[in-house]
Amino acid sequence: MFQIRLTIFLMLALSILPGTLAAQGSRGDDAGEYVILNAQYGSERRHVDVTNRLKELARLDRPFRISHDSLNADPDRGAAKELRVFARGPNGRERMFEFRDGSVFDGAMFRSWRRGDWGDEHWNGGWNGGRDNDAGEYVILSAQYGSERRHVDVTDRLRDMARQDLTFRLDYRTFGVDPDEGHAKSLRIFARGPNGQEQMFEYRDNSVIDGATFRGWGSGEWGHGGWSGNWNGGRGDAGEYVILSAQYGTGRSHVDVTEQLKELARQDQQFRMGNSTFGVDPDRGVVKTLRIFARGPNGRERMFEYREGSVVDGAQFRSWGRGDWANGDDRWSGRWEGEEREEGERRR
C-alpha cells in the first residue's frame, strides 16, 4: 500500500514540475526590467559590436566571465577592455552597464535574456551610449523664443522636449506660446563653448532643431544659470545700436560697404580702417571716412564716423560679430549726414 501511495505521489509531482519550471522560466531570468539594445566590447579607441555573440551566450543561460576569449573578439590587444551593454529601462530612458575584463556577467536583470529576442538594429553605435548627441561641445545656458521686441524664456520647455526626442520642427505651437503674433519668430539658444565664450544659435520658425551640438542634450542637465540675459547674447554682440547701413568715402562720392563690413565683423571685433580695408577708393586723393548708420534704443537713427587710420570697434553695435544686421526692416534714411545730425543743423 505504501509503495502504491509513493508511486502516485511521484507521478503527481512530475506532472506539476514542468508547469512550475515553465512559470519560473517566464518569470525568472527573463523577467528583468531592462531591454538590451546593443553590446560593445573593447576600449574607447577600439571597440566592436558583440550583440550577436552576447545572444549566443545568453541562450546557454548561465553566467560567464568577461574576456576576449568568451566574446570571441580582441579589438585592442594588450589594453584593458570592457563589455558595455546599452539597455532601455521601464521609464524609456537608456542606461549603460559596464563589465570589466575578468568580471562575471549574469543576465538576470535583462528582460528576455535567455530567449535572445532583443537588440536594436537602429541603435547609433556610440561607445558612450546610444545618445551620442549628449557629447556635444556646447553647454546650454538659456533658450528664448520670439522676436527682438517680444520673447519669452522657453528653457524648461526645451529641456522637456530634448528628453523625448533628438530633433523636432520649430513653430509657434512647439512651446505652446506665440509671444509676437503675426511676426516672424525664432528660437535663440545661448550656450557656452569649450573656450568659455558664450555663443548664440538661432533657429527660425519651420527649421529643424537637432541637439547633437549640445552637451547633455537628452539628459536635460543644462540651463541652470550663468546666461548674460540679453536677447542678443553676451559680450560684444550686446551693444544697443542696430546697424542699418555702412558707407565709405566723402560727401560728394561714397559707396555702400555694408556687406564688406559684415564680413569684417564676423572675423574680428576690431580693425584699423584704410583705403585697402574695403578694396575700393571712391574719391581718390581725398581723406575718406567710414560712416555707420544705426538705430538706437529710442528708435532714432544715429551716425558713427571713422576717419582713415582709425580703429573700428563693434562693441557698441548689437549682433556685430554675427553680422545679422542691415536686413529686412532695418532701413537707412539714405542721408550721408544722418537723420540726427541733419535735424540738429536745421534747428540751428
- Most confident among 12-16, 126-130, 221-225 (mean pLDDT): 221-225
For residues 324-340, give the mean pLDDT: 76
Residue 166, pLDDT score: 57
Q: How far apart are CA 254 and CA 249, in angstroms?
A: 4
- DSSP codes, 234-246: SGGGB-SBEEEEE
pLDDT(320) > 70: yes
**Backbone region of residue 149 per phi and psi (left: phi > 0; alpha: psi in -120 to 50; beta: other values):** alpha
Q: Which pLDDT value is given to residue 165?
A: 57
Q: Tell me the C-alpha distance between 161 and 218, whole Å.
A: 9
For residue 222, how far is the Cα from the chain centroid?
11
pLDDT for residue 238: 58
**How far, CA to CA in Å, does 256 sit from each of 72, 260, 282, 293, 318?**
69, 9, 10, 11, 20
pLDDT-derived band at 127, boundaries 50, 70, 90: confident
pLDDT (tens digit per residue) in 199-257:
888 899 988 887 877 888 877 778 876 565 667 665 445 567 899 999 999 999 999 99
DSSP 86-153: EEE-TTS-EEEEEEETT-EE-GGGBBTTTTT----TT----TT-S-GGGB-SBEEEEEEEE-SSSEEE
Which range, 14-23, 57-66, 160-169, has the best average confidence (pLDDT)? 57-66
Average pLDDT value for residue range 28-39 = 78
Q: Please list, residue by residue across 63-76, b when 16 or more beta carbons sit within 10 angstroms of its beta carbon and e when fewer do.
A: eeebeeebbebbbb
pLDDT of residue 331: 79
Place of cell 545618445: 131
Mean pLDDT of 113-133: 71
- Cβ contacts of 173 within 8 Å, gap of 6 or more: none
* pLDDT given at position 28: 46
pLDDT grade for 24, boundaries at 50, 70 and 90: very low
Q: Say if residue 98's pLDDT is above 80.
A: yes
Give the model's pLDDT for residue 18.
Answer: 44
Would you call 314 exposed, middle or buried from its count of C-beta atoms within 10 A (0-12, 13-18, 19+)? Answer: buried
**Burial level of 174, CB count in 10 A (0-12/13-18/19+)?**
middle
pLDDT tens-digit readout, 248-288: 999 999 999 999 998 888 765 578 888 788 989 999 999 99
* Structural contact between residues 41 and 47, judged by C-beta atoms closer than 8 angstroms: yes
Q: Is the pLDDT of residue 195 over 50?
A: yes
CB atoms within 10 A of CB 39: 25
> Average pLDDT, whole number, for the chain?
80
Give the pLDDT of residue 233.
63
